[in-house]
Structure 1
Amino acid sequence: MVDFGPRYEVDVTPGVSHFLSKLAFQRSKTWPSRDSILEELDKNGGLADCQYHRDAFMYALTGFSSSFPSLLRVLSESLFQPIVTAEDIDSQREEVQFQIEELQRRLDPEPLLTELIHAAAYRNNTLGFSKFCPSDSVDLVSEKDVLSVLKRYFVPSRITVCGVGVQHDSFVETVHETFSGVTPAWEDRVVTPTRVDESVSQYTGGIVTNHSDSEPQRLVLNPLPELAHVAIGFEAASFHDPDFFPFSVLNVLLGGGGSFSAGGPGKGMYSRLYTDVLNRYHWVQNATAYHHSYSDSGLFCIYGSASPNQLPDLVQVLMDEFMRLSKPYGSEELSRAKKQLQSMLMMNLESRTVVFEDIGRQILATGKRRSPEELCDRIESVTSSDIQMACQKMMTQSPAVAAFGNLSDMPSYGDIDSAFAKGGRLPGRSNNFFGRFKF
């Protein structure tokens, strides 16, 4: 795990993280081609992957436990001795451009809404920088940008190496042998700037929209109904905030999903967004809560989808759910959410891949790893008043709003912000339940 991601792209061309993820495990000093790296991995039953978040990069290798010394050598060279030239970067431009276009065509609106709501919440700073390369930067990302990032951020103090399914002492010894004394490929390259960005995220609130008169064409046999998508959020808890656990429980308590779901026990069909929104308003196609947490901030959001002419009603329904968050929670509802969160945690940790990422991200973010037992105890200790106080504090800010699709009927940001400050009613919206229906 490397402490670098799009949030640090302050003084380089936006999108360098996207390119860097594509350059992972392509070429290195010992293995000068992608095929030679794959051949080395095949000999050890290995697979390689690189994923990145707004605040972290994850280089992952999996293979035979007995082959971890060979896998660590591949990992070490991929981190510190990759071959990166202008030709390597040019070879990735087409794939990066394809992924950007694919983001607009996806049936699932969540990735694009996540991008837009972060841009609205942290306008032009840190966590508001796009995870994906902007279209106008695809041809601008250069060898200099990549080397600048590698030289400043790919250093021992910002890297955590973790392993699962290996003997600890032997693993630590091999890591020292493999990583110590390695001369980075960029050591003698002159790159600027040389300072590490230490900016703290600044929540701004605001609105970011992506209006189109019709949805993008998708390769499906039967045309799907045209939908508009909205997300409303507020700054919430960071990893280090005591309110992190109340917000985590609240996220499960609200739950949500699509209007059609093959539900059943444990599928969240009794969560609040299902019972109070999806089962109540037939025209709402999706309503889901999300909690994004980082080292210095967090974002709590509710997403919704409906027909474009229902946008005012959809926004009002989402606002109603936010206004209810500061009210007391029933013991059954709260207990169900806590048990479901604990169950999800324990089931996920049955996967070695999840355990690996959990260890790496916790160490990188907090400097230590909390045991599953400690996490379950913290979840169990959350009370109704904990969630209420966290939400009351959250709701003192201006909201962040994101929307895309046909937004002709979208309420203005001024109306939404003013409504939150004055009891949660948009201008012209009736308290009458039936006032929200448009047939």
Structure 2
Amino acid sequence: QHHITFYSVVFLGEIRKQTGDSLVHAAIVAEGAVTGSREADAFSVLQHVLGAGPLVRRGSSVTSKLTQGVAKATSKPFDVSAFNVNYSDSGLFGVYTISQAPNAGEVIKAALNQVKAVAQGSVTDADVTVANNSLNNYNKQSVPSSKKKRLLNEIGSESLVSGTHTSPSAAAQKIDSVTTADVVNAAKKFVSGKKSMAATGDLGNTPFLDEL
């Protein structure tokens, strides 16, 4: 049995696991930021501007940019979230989608378009403030849901849910110092960065990386 692993996604660029499953799981990632850097905080805020997805109950993330954007592209059920992981020497930022197989392409493209929109300045100070508060609340209760773990384990990325944490008060101060411009710059780095992609399911309607 072939397992899609975190490292193979990063180094091979593209992994497609054709299973025939009616749900397509896809992750598109690019280089993020190193642990403890201001840029890492900006990516964390960007993650919450876009929507941290399965970490919150279904229905409570309706204000997230990813959810809004994808909902305009399909009437079928979907899940979409941004994720951010930081290491001592590098980091990863990306978008994770779950969609009905026939709608995978439009869901993935709509999600990426939301990141592009932020990179082009389509984010307000109010968006960033809401994301800061969301992130600070998340840091206080930072136990990833079993659903999130299960989804990320689909591509072998256990490391994505095991990050290190500073004290909530120290983290909150760092997060609150992130500006809207910092968030736009983080989105720009993702948009311009070299992408890697992993997808599993019935992939007939799932675009290849060079089609995104």
Corresponding residue for 1:296? 89
Corresponding residue for 2:133? 339
More strand by share: 2
**Whole-angstrom CA distance in 2 between matches of 1:274 and 1:330:** 17
**Whole-angstrom CA distance in 2 between matches of 1:348 and 1:322:** 24
**Whole-angstrom CA distance in 1 between matches of 2:32 and 2:171:** 19
**Whole-angstrom CA distance in 2 between matches of 1:287 and 1:348:** 19
**Whole-angstrom CA distance in 1 between matches of 2:6 and 2:61:** 24
Query: What amino acid maps onto 1:343 in structure 2?
Result: N
Distance 1:342 1:116, change over 3 A: same
Secondary structure of the corresponding residue to residue 26 of structure 2: strand
Corresponding residue for 2:10? 121
Question: Structure 1: which 5+ runs fail to align?
Answer: 1-100, 105-111, 124-205, 216-225, 350-359, 363-369, 417-439
Contact 1:120 1:402 in 2 (8 A): yes
1:376 positional shift:
1.0
What does residue range 102-117 of structure 1 map to in structure 2 within 5 Å? Answer: 115-116=4-5
Question: Structure 2: which 5+ runs fail to align?
Answer: 144-162
Secondary structure of the corresponding residue to residue 408 of structure 1: helix
Q: Which has the larger radius of gyration?
A: 1
Corresponding residue for 2:98? 305
Scaled by the length of structure 1, the TM-score of the pair is 0.40
Query: What amino acid maps onto 2:108 in structure 1?
Result: V
**Whole-angstrom CA distance in 2 between matches of 1:281 and 1:409:** 14
1:122 positional shift:
2.8
1:361 positional shift:
4.3
**Whole-angstrom CA distance in 1 between matches of 2:142 and 2:105:** 38
What does residue range 349-428 of structure 1 map to in structure 2 within 5 Å? Answer: 361=164, 370-416=166-212
1:327 aligns with 2:123: no
Q: Percent identity?
A: 23
The equivalent position to 2:38 in structure 1, one of 232, 242, 251, is 242
Distance 1:348 1:301, change over 3 A: closer
1:371 positional shift:
4.1
Scaled by the length of structure 2, the TM-score of the pair is 0.77
**Whole-angstrom CA distance in 1 between matches of 2:142 and 2:206:** 38
- What is the root-mean-square deviation of aligned Cα atoms in Å? 2.8
Q: Which has the higher contact order (CA 8 A, sep 6+)?
A: 2
The equivalent position to 1:283 in structure 2, one of 76, 80, 84, is 76
Q: What are the superposed Cα offsets for residues 57-97 of structure 1, whole Å, 9 maximum, x if unpaired?
A: xxxxxxxxxxxxxxxxxxxxxxxxxxxxxxxxxxxxxxxxx
1:372 positional shift:
3.0
Query: What amino acid maps onto 2:188 in structure 1?
Result: Q
1:227 aligns with 2:23: yes
Contact 2:95 2:112 in 1 (8 A): no
1:211 aligns with 2:18: yes
Distance 1:311 1:116, change over 3 A: farther
Contact 1:117 1:401 in 2 (8 A): no
The count of aligned residue pairs is 191
More helix by share: 2
Contact 2:119 2:185 in 1 (8 A): yes
